[in-house]
Amino acid sequence: MAKPVSSSLKVRGVLYAAIRGWIRENYSDERYLDFLQGLPKDLHDRMVMFEFDEWYPAGDVYPVYEQFIEYFEGELQESELISRIVEYMFEKSVKGFLRKLVAFLTPPTLIKRATSFWQQVHSQGNIGIEKIAHQHYLVSLHDWKIHRISCLIFEGWMRQLLSVAGGISILTEKVSCSLKGDDACKWEVIYE
C-alpha cells in the first residue's frame, strides 16, 4: 500500500479519467461499472465524482491504480497494463498540431522541456537530463516522491515522448529511486 505523502502534492483528475476512458474504450461501459463496483467506497466516490481539470491529493490516486492493476491481474501484467494506460493518456493529450511540433524536437530537447508537460498534471516535480554519451542520457525526476506507480507512469510517458521525437529503439533502466532514499528517481536512457 502507498506510504503517506505530503498533502501539498497534487495531481489533476486526468489520472482518474485515464482509467475510466481506457476501460470503456478497450472493453465496455459495463466492464467499467464492474470495476467501480469492486472499489472501496471512498475510491468509488472519487471515480464517480472527479473533475478532469481539478487538482486532487496525489496520495489518493495511486490506491485507485493499485485496484486497477488488481482488477486486470489475470489478463495483463502490471508493466503491460501501465504501459497501455500511459499510451492511452499520451494519445489523448498529445495530438494534432502538438504531436507534429513535438516530432521536430530532438529527444534531449524534448526531455528538457518535459517539465512543462509534467506540471500540467502534477503540482510539482522537475525533470533533469545529463548527457552520458551520444544518444545516451541520465534522466531524473526531482521533487516527486510518491509511489512506485508514479515512477512507472513517468517512465512510460518518457518512452512515448522519445518515440514521437524519432526514437526507434528506446532502452530505459531505473538506476536510483527517491522512494529508496535517493535524491531523485533516475533512469539511464539509450535511444536510436
For residue 120, pLDDT over 50 is answered with yes
Up-side HSE of residue 10: CA atoms within 13 Å toward CB? 10
**Best CA proximity match to 154, nearest among 188, 124, 185:** 185
Question: Residues 132-163: pLDDT tens digits?
Answer: 998 898 999 999 988 999 999 999 988 887 77
Q: pLDDT class for 118, splitting at 50, 70, 90? A: confident
Question: Residues 75-95: pLDDT tens digits?
Answer: 999 999 999 999 999 888 776
Question: Residues 54-80: pLDDT tens digits?
Answer: 999 999 999 999 999 999 999 999 999
For residue 96, pLDDT over 60 is answered with no
Higher-pLDDT residue of 114 and 24 is: 24
Q: What is the mean pLDDT of residues 3-10?
A: 65
For residue 1, pLDDT over 80 is answered with no
CATH code reported for the domain at 100-191: 3.90.1520.10
Q: What is the mean pLDDT of residues 97-121?
A: 73
In this prediction, residue 161 carries a pLDDT of 79
Query: 3-state SS of 110-174?
Result: HHHHHHHHHCCCECCCEEEEEEEECCEEEEEEECCCCCHHHHHHHHHHHHHHHHHCCCCCEEEEE
Distances (CA, A) of 60 to 3, 38, 43, 127: 11, 17, 8, 23
pTM above 0.95, yes or no: no
